Amino acid sequence: MLAAAVPGSILGESGRVRPTLIGGIMAFSAALFRRLFRVLVVFVSAVLAAVILVPAGPVAAVEAKPQLLSLERTSPAVITAGTNATFAFKASEPVTSVEIYVEDKTGTRSGYWESRNASIDGTIQLPIEPDSWPSGSVVAEWVTVSTADYRYTTYLRQPSFRSLGDMSRLDFQVDNPNLVLEEPAVTSLSMATAAATPGQTVRLNFSLSQAASQVRFSFVDPSLARSVDFTWKGSVPKGPFSAVASVPITAADPNGKYILESIDIAYFGDRARLVYGRDGVTHRSAALPPSPVPLIDFSKGTFSVNNPAVQLSTQSATALPGIIGKFESPRSDLQAGNGAWTNVPSGYKYQWLRNGVPIPGQTGQWYNAYGEIDGGTRISVRVTALTPGFLPSSAVSPSVGPIPRSVELLNGRIEGDVSVGGRIRVEGFQYWVTPQGGTTKITCGWRRNGAVIPGVTRCDYVLTAADQGASIAVAATATNDGNSSDMLPIWLRPRVAKKAPGRGMNADGTMDVFARDKAGNLYLYPTNGRGSWLPRQRIGGGWNIYNALLSPGDWNGDGKNDVMARDREGRLFLYPGNGRGGIPTKVQVGGGWQTFRAIIAPGDWNGDGNNDIMARDYSNNVWLYPGNGRGGWLTRSLIRHDDWNDINLIVGAGKSTGSNVNNLMARDIWGNLRILPGNGHGGFLFSSGYWSLGAGWNIYSRIGSAGDFNGDWIPDFFGIKPSGEFVICYGNGSAWYKGHRVVGGNWNQFTAVF
């Protein structure tokens, strides 16, 4: 079955071989490995000999090692290819081998002297072959001298305690103008025989840009599982060159088309290997400059065999291929299962499909389905079984999917009232789904001090007494079609503050209003949290001894809102609430407060989680009296100095602008109402600025803020006209309000409303 076709002008041989492309590369790699291993053993031995220290202990006899007394290059400094580089040596004792290792542009090489008859001198021979030594510098790297009883010494080029001196004296130049330092490329390829019958020969014409020692062309027969290879070998003095390779067709060769799969070129005296694949992948064993020629047209490497006596048939899949893998975002790693076939295949080919359409370039057993590309689609794979003696047979797996889309969630933050009874919410986040489509659902999992808060999956959360002083975080998750998601952790920076003034007195968390009549009776007007009043309840009498009344929120840290009152002597009293609307006892918490013209309850002004008090003196200085959360005080500080001379009313406005900081509301003597936003750290957001709520507010004899009246979680404020109308102004969550409504009358009978 083997035959040779030798080109007339070039000595060579060709024939039929059947190793696969991988087998050829492995054979070449094994030879290269043996050579490199020998170099590595010598090098490692030299290093170990240089660094291993003898352990402390009794002095032992040191084995003498052979030494080189001299080593000199005896060949010219410039050596013509085809001759030898020579080196003369003299040793300290009879030796059996001396080997020198040199480095040129193609890698490491070695020359050696070796003899069964030990000698103290000799000459190392290093052949400079014309087909493998390009022009350029050659550098001596190390030398090893050995004896018959396996004692040896290695000398390295770099400085060490064993040295041959300056080894650059051993370096030399190679002059070889016929060998170009460039990998050979296929410049032309054509089939001299397009079709053949048994007994005929198929010929292939080819040209290379540089010299080579072997070229192997690997075809596959119609089964795509059997390799038909033929190899050209020859001796070419220099490139470029042209040649012909051929292979005979026998009666065993099946009918059908034969396709060129790879071209394997050995050059530089078999020191370098270059393999071109039909799939466009090129394997190189040497890092040499590539030849600047176009890519090979593998379609020209095709021929047909006409042999009706050997017709290949297809086989069937007894079990369809499948897909193994787990859907994950952003990437799902999928593996093709080969299925089962009537005959055992020797190999497989794969083509992945997206919604039934082939995916370009995806022909491996694994496929990485990315949500950005494949999201929302169904994936299948066509498996082609390759069996010698049978035509390639294909089956398509059932599709899997839809593949999870890519979901990205960004920029979330927690806003709202971070105090007990307040509602916080996740806002400002954005999500992208690629490719667009499907249904996206946002869920949130809240945590208290790192522990999951059970049963809370909405993206808003009402803080409870259990959250007081705690660190709150949320994990917002965007899920698309239930199978792809992205999670964004968001931390709430301030800890949860104590219950704010607007949370009422009767434990239902809704706005309540206190009112004192002219007889000194104090009443609580609770609301239902939906914009209506509940029946009022009388708290008690004798409250006309106080000239200032306010609700500071939870002052003593027991989770219930309280009341403060200043008498005419300047004493300040705390009335702790009982959580049912009552304030049965009192305790004095200060004195000398008669120096202040106004006392204000702003909530937690400095952001430490405890409610605070502000006081405005008669010089229009504003002082912050921080609460300690246990019914007492921290050190006061001046937060405004002598610039509110035109202000005739100041009240706490709560978190009226939608952010987690408390604000004040102030009216000037001309009737303009303004918001003075806090900065959350004990001061004001603006040094002298404010947000205006407009003019004409001097129609109200009283203005106050007691919480959320209509249940939309936005603080509202109220005004009482001289006629007694109670007007509620609904906050809009920013620095304005969204309307007002009269919700009561006869409120002009009261001397204090708070």
Query: Distances from the Cα of 146 to the Cαs of 91, 95, 179, in angstroms?
Result: 10, 6, 35
Task: Give one DSSP letter per residue of 435-462, joined into a string.
Answer: S--S-EEEEEEEEETTEE-TT--SSEEE
pLDDT in tens, 633-682: 999 999 988 778 899 999 999 988 878 889 999 999 999 999 999 999 99
Which pLDDT does position 13 carry in this prediction? Answer: 31
Report which of 212, 216, 207 is spatially closest to residue 187, judged by C-alpha positions: 207
Question: Does the fold of domain 512-753 match that of domain 68-175?
Answer: no
CATH of 406-491, one of 2.60.40.2700, 2.70.98.10, 3.40.50.720, 1.10.1840.10: 2.60.40.2700
Which pLDDT does position 160 carry in this prediction? Answer: 67
Which pLDDT does position 687 carry in this prediction? Answer: 85
Which pLDDT does position 164 carry in this prediction? Answer: 86
Model-wide pTM > 0.85:
no
Task: Give one DSSP letter per residue of 397-420, joined into a string.
Answer: PPPB-PPPPEEEEE--EEEE--BT
pLDDT in tens, 121-172: 999 999 999 888 999 999 999 999 999 999 999 999 987 667 788 999 999 9
- Residue 436, token pair as written in the block: 């667009």
Which pLDDT does position 7 carry in this prediction? Answer: 28
Which pLDDT does position 501 carry in this prediction? Answer: 87
Give yes or no for a contact between 639 and 645, defined as CB atoms under 8 angstroms apart.
no
Three-state helix/strand/coil letters over 19-60: CCHHHHHHHHHHHHHHHHHHHHHHHHHHHHHHHCCCCCCCCC
Which pLDDT does position 369 carry in this prediction? Answer: 96
Block residue for tokens 């290949």? 312
Query: Where along the chain do its domains lie?
Result: 68-175, 186-305, 317-396, 406-491, 512-753
Report which of 592, 593, 590 is spatially closest to residue 615, judged by C-alpha positions: 593
Which pLDDT does position 500 carry in this prediction? Answer: 87
Task: List per-block mean pLDDT (blocks of 10 residues) for the chain, which spans 754 residues.
Answer: 28 32 36 40 40 39 84 97 96 97 91 93 95 93 95 88 85 92 90 96 94 94 94 84 95 97 92 91 83 83 96 95 92 96 96 98 96 94 97 97 91 88 89 90 94 93 92 92 85 86 84 96 94 95 97 94 97 95 94 97 93 96 96 95 87 88 95 94 90 96 93 93 97 88 97 96
Q: Looking at the structure, give the CATH architecture of the domain made up of residues 68-175.
A: Sandwich (2.60)
CATH class name, domain 317-396: mainly beta
512-753 fold: Neuraminidase (2.120.10)
Which pLDDT does position 730 carry in this prediction? Answer: 95
Which pLDDT does position 539 carry in this prediction? Answer: 95
How far is it, in rounded angstroms, from Cα 750 to Cα 704? 14
Block residue for tokens 């937060």? 639
186-305 fold: Immunoglobulin-like (2.60.40)
